[in-house]
Chains A and B, each alone.
Chain A
Amino acid sequence: MTQLWNTIIFQPLLNLLLFLYAVLGRSFGLAVIVFTVLVRVVTLPITAQQMRSTKASQDMQPKLAELQQKYKGDKEKLAQEQMKLYKESGVNPMGCLVPTLIQLPIWFGLYQSITAALPQNPLQLLNLAKHIYSRFPLLANLIPSSLIPLNASFLWLNLGRPDPYYIIPILTVATMWVQQKMMAPRNADPQQQAMSQSMELMMPLMFGYITINLASGLGLYFVATNVVGIIQQYFTSGWGSLANVFKRPAIQPGASRRKGKSDERTKKPQ
C-alpha cells in the first residue's frame, strides 16, 4: 500500500516540485507557488464541480427556508421535501464532500513532498534519496543532484521551518476566511446561519494554529492555494457572502429617525 501511494502520488509530486525548483532559478518558494497553481489547474474540473455545487446550494437556500417554515413540526416530511427539492434542482447534497475527499490524497502528497524536499537531518536526506527519480537517466537529468540540499530561503522565511514572525499563519487565516466567506451559502435559518458563521471562523483559525508549527513551505502552499481558490470562486459566484460583511446591517422599521435615514441611504431603488 505504501509502495502504491509513493509511486502514484508522493514521488510524482516530489519530483515535479524538485523539477520546478531546478527551472525556476532555484527558488523553493517560487517552486511551491507555481506547483500550487499547477495542482489547482489539474484539479480544476473537481473544484469547478465543487463550486457549482456550492453556488446551486446557495441559490436553493430561500426555498429550503420556505420548506423549513412550512413543515416546522414534521421532520420526516421536511426531509422528504428537501430531498425532492434537491432532486428537482439537480443538486447532490454531498456534492461538496466528494471533491474534497478526492483532493485529500493530493493534500497529503503535497505535505509529504514539501517536507521531504527540505531534509534537515541525514535520515530525511536518505528518505529523499529513495524517492528522487535517479534510476531513470532522462528524469535524473531534469533534477540534477547539484540541487541538493535545496535553498530553503524565501523572502523572510526558511521554508523548512515555521515562520518566526507568524506572518504566514496570519495570511493563512485571512485568505482561508475570505474564501470560506465567499463560498458560504446565504442561510435563512438563523440557527444554521450562526453555526455556519462559527465554522467559517473555526476552520481558518484551526489551519492558522497548525501552520504555526509546520514548515512554512506548507503554510506558503496554503496561502497560495487559498489565493487561487479566491480567484476561482470570484469568477464562479462573485464575492458571495463576503459582500455582506462590509455592508451596513439593514435597520428594522420603527427605529429612530436618524437610523431610518441611514437605512434609506443604503436601500437600492427597486
Chain B
Amino acid sequence: MRKLTIIIVLFIVLGTLGGCTAAPVTPSWSSLLATDGLLYTGSQGGRVYALNATSNAEVWRFPPAEEKAKGALYGAPARLENTLYVGSYDHHLYAVDANTGSQRWVFTSAGPILADAVIADGMLYVASSDHKLYALDAQTGLKKWEFATGNWIWGRPAVAAGKVYVASFDHKLYCLDAADGSKEWEFKAGAAFPGGPAVANGVVYCGALDKKVYALDANTGAVLWENETGNWVWATPLVVDGTVYVASLDHTVYALDATAHVERWHFATDGMIRSTPAYADGLLYVGTDTGSLQVLDATNGQPKWTFKAGASILTSPVVADGVVYITTLGDTVYALDAVTGVQRWNVNPGNRK
C-alpha cells in the first residue's frame, strides 16, 4: 500500500513534468507595423493579420484560415511598396503581397528568425538565430551575401551611409559594408547584445546584457561614451533631436544628451521595459511587462497618462494618424487616442474565425 502510494505520487509528478514539456508550441510576442491605413501584426499562432487601422476589420490573413499556420512570429513586419516581409520561428522569412496576403517567395535560414526585417536601398537584411545576417534582394529574395557572427542575432540590424550594423549574442557589434558584407570593424562589450543598434548623426547606440548602453563612432567603432543602468538593456535606443532614450529592464527610461552624455531626466515605471519606446509629437510611449503603457512628456519625463492592458507589453508601440497601437503578450491589439489615451478598440485577431 505504501509503495503504491509513492508510485501514484511519482506518476503525478512525472505526468506534470511530461505535460510541461510535451507542448511543442513556442510562445512569442507579436509586433506591429502601421502604414497606408493598414495595421499588420504577427501572432504566436503563426499567422500575419492585416487589419483596417480604423475599424480593426480583418483585410486578410497569412496563411489563410484553411491552411496550416507558420511558426510563431516575433519580429515586426517590414513593407516595401506592395510586399510585406516577416520572419518566423520556423526559420523562414516570408514575402507576401501587402494587399492580399498571398505568398510571393520564402527565404530559409538555419535558425529561428526573431528580429525585425530591415529594408534599405532595395535590400532586405535578415538576422537569424543561426548566427548569421543575410542580405537579400528585396524583390526576388535572392541572397546577395551573408555574414556569420559567433552566436544568435535577435536584434534588428541598422543601416546608414552604406554600412550595416548588427549586434550579436557573441558580445560583439559589427559594422559591415552594405555592398558585400565585408567587416569594417567590430566592438566587443562586456556581455551579449540581445537587441539591435540605432544609428544617428555618425554615432551607433546599442544596449547590452552588461546593463550598459554604448555610444560608438560609426566610422571607427571607438567608444564615445557608455552609460550603466540597473539591469539589462534589451531595447534598441531611440534617438530623437539630440536625445537618446534608453529603456532598461530596471523599469526605468533614461533620457541622455546624445553628444555630451548628460542625463536629462529619468522615469521609473512599474515594470521591466523590453521594447523600444515610440516617439510622436513630443510624447514618449513606453510599454512594460506589467501591461502598462506609460506616456511621458519627452522633454522632461513628466507622466501624461497611463493605460493598463490585460497582459505584458513587450514590443514597441506604433503611432500613426493620432492613434497609438499596442499589442500584448497573447496577441490582443489595442488602439488608443495618442493624446488622451482613450481606447478606440481592441481585438485579438487570432480569436476571430
Q: Are B28 and A121 touching (Cβ within 8 A)?
A: yes
B13: chain A residues within 8 A (beta carbon):
104, 107-108
Q: What's the minimum C-beta distance from B26 to chain A, rounded to whole angstroms?
A: 6
Binds A, one of B16-24, B91-99, B318-326, B344-352: B16-24
Q: Are A206 and B152 touching (Cβ within 8 A)?
A: no
The total of chain B residues at the interface (CB under 8 A) is 46
Binds B, one of A30-38, A40-48, A129-137: A129-137
Q: A134 CA to B11 CA in the complex, in Å?
A: 36
B74: chain A residues within 8 A (beta carbon):
121-122
Q: A134 CA to B249 CA in the complex, in Å?
A: 10
B3: chain A residues within 8 A (beta carbon):
96, 196, 199
A214: chain B residues within 8 A (beta carbon):
17, 21
A210: chain B residues within 8 A (beta carbon):
14, 17-18, 21
Q: What's the minimum C-beta distance from A50 to chain B, rounded to whole angstroms?
A: 10
Q: Mark A111-152, 1 if CB is under 8 A from B, else 0.
A: 100000000011101100110001100000000111011000
B26: chain A residues within 8 A (beta carbon):
121
Q: Are A130 and B29 touching (Cβ within 8 A)?
A: no
Q: Are A148 and B192 touching (Cβ within 8 A)?
A: yes
Q: What's the minimum C-beta distance from A237 to chain B, rounded to whole angstroms?
A: 16
Q: A207 CA to B21 CA in the complex, in Å?
A: 14
B232: chain A residues within 8 A (beta carbon):
129, 134, 145
Q: Are A203 and B10 touching (Cβ within 8 A)?
A: yes
Chain B residue at minimal CB-CB distance from A148: B209
Chain B residue at minimal CB-CB distance from A215: B21
B10: chain A residues within 8 A (beta carbon):
100, 203
B11-61 with Cβ < 8 A to chain A: 11, 13-14, 17-18, 20-22, 26-29
A195-226 with Cβ < 8 A to chain B: 196, 199, 202-203, 206-207, 210, 213-215
Q: Are A93 and B2 touching (Cβ within 8 A)?
A: yes
Q: What's the minimum C-beta distance from A60 to chain B, rounded to whole angstroms?
A: 12
For chain A, what secondary structure do more than half of its interface residues adopt (helix, strand, loop), or is it mixed?
helix
Q: Is B5 an interface residue (CB 8 A)?
A: yes
Q: A100 CA to B14 CA in the complex, in Å?
A: 13
Q: Mark B248-269, 1 if CB is under 8 A from A, else 0.
A: 0100000000000000000000
Q: Are A145 and B28 touching (Cβ within 8 A)?
A: no
B288-318 with Cβ < 8 A to chain A: 289, 314
Q: Are B191 and A148 touching (Cβ within 8 A)?
A: yes
Chain A residue at minimal CB-CB distance from B289: A126
Q: Is A101 an interface residue (CB 8 A)?
A: yes
Q: A199 CA to B169 CA in the complex, in Å?
A: 47
A96: chain B residues within 8 A (beta carbon):
2-3, 6
Q: What's the minimum C-beta distance from A210 to chain B, rounded to whole angstroms?
A: 5
Partner of B191, one of A100, A146, A196: A146
Q: Is A155 an interface residue (CB 8 A)?
A: no
Q: Is B240 an interface residue (CB 8 A)?
A: no
Partner of A129, one of B114, B171, B249: B249
Q: A122 CA to B190 CA in the complex, in Å?
A: 20
Q: Are B22 and A213 touching (Cβ within 8 A)?
A: yes
Q: Are A130 and B7 touching (Cβ within 8 A)?
A: no
Q: Is A97 an interface residue (CB 8 A)?
A: yes
Q: Are A123 and B211 touching (Cβ within 8 A)?
A: no
Known A-B contacts A121-B28, A121-B112, A130-B272; A146 and B6 likewise in contact (beta carbons under 8 Å): no
B21: chain A residues within 8 A (beta carbon):
210, 213-215
Q: A199 CA to B8 CA in the complex, in Å?
A: 11
Q: Is A243 an interface residue (CB 8 A)?
A: no
Q: A206 CA to B289 CA in the complex, in Å?
A: 38
B211: chain A residues within 8 A (beta carbon):
134, 145
Chain B residue at minimal CB-CB distance from A146: B191
B: residues with CB less than 8 A from A are 1-3, 5-7, 9-11, 13-14, 17-18, 20-22, 26-29, 74, 89, 112, 114, 151-152, 154, 169, 171, 190-192, 194, 209-211, 230-232, 234, 249, 272, 274, 289, 314, 329
Extra contacts, 8 of them, besides A94-B5, A203-B10 (Cβ < 8 A), are A100-B10, A121-B26, A121-B28, A126-B314, A129-B234, A134-B232, A135-B231, A145-B232
Q: List 5 A-B contacts (CB under 8 A).
A: A97-B6, A100-B6, A104-B9, A130-B272, A206-B11
Q: Give me the 7 closest cross-chain CB pairs, A-B, nearest first.
A: A145-B191, A145-B209, A146-B191, A210-B18, A145-B210, A214-B21, A93-B2
A: residues with CB less than 8 A from B are 93-94, 96-97, 100-101, 104, 107-108, 111, 121-123, 125-126, 129-130, 134-135, 144-146, 148-149, 196, 199, 202-203, 206-207, 210, 213-215
